[in-house]
Chains A and B, each alone.
Chain A
Amino acid sequence: MSSVASDLPLLCTPLYDLHLERGAKMAGFAGYDMPIQYPSGIIKEHLHTRFHAGLFDVAHMGQIKITAKSGHLADAQAALESVLPADILGLKRGRQVYSQFTTASGGISDDLMVANYGDFILLVVNAGGKMADNAMLQQKIGDRCHIEYLSERALIALQGPLAAECLAPHAPELKKMRFMDVRQSVLWGSDIMVSRSGYTGEDGYEISLPAHACDQIVRKLLTDPRVNLIGLGARDSLRLEAGLCLYGADLDQTTSPIEAGLNWSLPKIRRAGGARAGGFVGSDIILKQLAAGPARRRVGLQPQDRAPIRGGTLLYQSEQGGTAIGTVTSGGFGPSVGAPVAMGYVKSEFLPPLATKTQIFAELRGRRIAVTITQLPFVPLRYAK
């Protein structure tokens, strides 16, 4: 879990008072004072989300609404395709897609969700980069699009196998949504924008709601004993087990979507030979890499010992000597796996053929410990497909 050091006072989400009331341990994260954990602790919070329903404050994240100045949404969709590699023109009303803002050198400046609400496109971006994303969009597509940063809206996530059941009595229409569907709805009188998605590997929803109603709505959801507040600590262990990338750790300006193994988010239509091939920032470099194969690739790493390996740990081919063949970018303990789990980048020449396991070594406190390169995710994904 990385935090951004700064002298600026930390910002608060609308749920700040609630976090303090519930005994949260707070810490600075991307400029916000956020709950890392509640008194039950990260392991219990993690497992609660896997078995019941966890409620996350993710109001630090950015929500950006995009409309076309021409009045035709397709013009905004086309404009967005110049800054990210997804098929946005083909994104149907009521659907969402995962993508990345790419850089001229083929790196990633942020990763995000893009949702088509019919009258507008909603982007959900990371807290750390939201202001830079907004400025980049103004600069690159501001001539064609209205770009509105939604500062008056909060975001919460309800995740876990019971999420749908817990939400259904209050908004029955949300139950029939499938994974990556989006829709507008009403929850206790407030207008909400909902996607059936999340960052835990479980079924669930991310709900955009008016900031002024957030506290009241969350308290109502928490009256259901199956719903518990979950902090950012468990959010990190849940997403790590699910093999999902954290921007700033697993993805950054020096990492390409191909190296990160996000090829699945680069559809055929935007690849060489596709009807709208390339045309996004850095597409020459990224498409070349897709064809030739990347020099390094993101992989799952499972230490054979019980010691967790953390971001920054170097990886080696043998138990002694040699130069590093890779680096851990995220690592910790996986409460559902019951063992340490990690992910990182390894030079391609040292990678095993798919579906075979290879042992390498991680240097930890002056010793090399055995680590197995594994497929991601570490737990089965349980989306409502």
Chain B
Amino acid sequence: MRERARGPQHGTLHAVDAEPTPEDLMALVARGDEGAFERLYDVLAGPILGLVQRVLRDPAQSEEVAQEVLVELWRTATRYRPDLGSVRTWALTLAHRRAVDRVRSAQATINREDRVARSEVDRPFDQVADEVSSRLEREQVRRCMDTLTALQRESVVLAYYGGNTYREVAQLLDVPLGTVKTRLRDGLIRLRDCLGVAG
């Protein structure tokens, strides 16, 4: 089981039909199947750690949060409901929420002057995984990001990858709050349409 679990890292594109989906795996995990959890780990750990690290920066803290998130997926597998969204979205929503919560609780005690850099906006896709599937996903997201207006893109990047509240985004970009709210929504809607997100 453990050896097979390495599978998705190679040749995913050809094997995709034969591989169980994350949703299939989650159903098994909900019944306490540790082997299925290992395979789910192999699918989700890269995106989860990547996202958390993007927001938190600190590698040690990021691994800690990623571990929390992954164990939480195990713990709450019985509560997953396929009708409310994909496993990947569920996992990444949780990961982002946890990363952002960590940032904001730390923010209460430390003034994180090094975290938010405008240069971030220009190069959000460094240091990423090199698997084919990730590369394709990255290319597609990059292409769709290019369809956004500069202000939409900056707002989305500062909020999502930067872990900033929309108030902070408004401050950083020196635009009114209402404008940021609208840009975040319009930007995401445009990305949704470009990426062809299944509803």
Q: Do A and B bind each other?
A: no
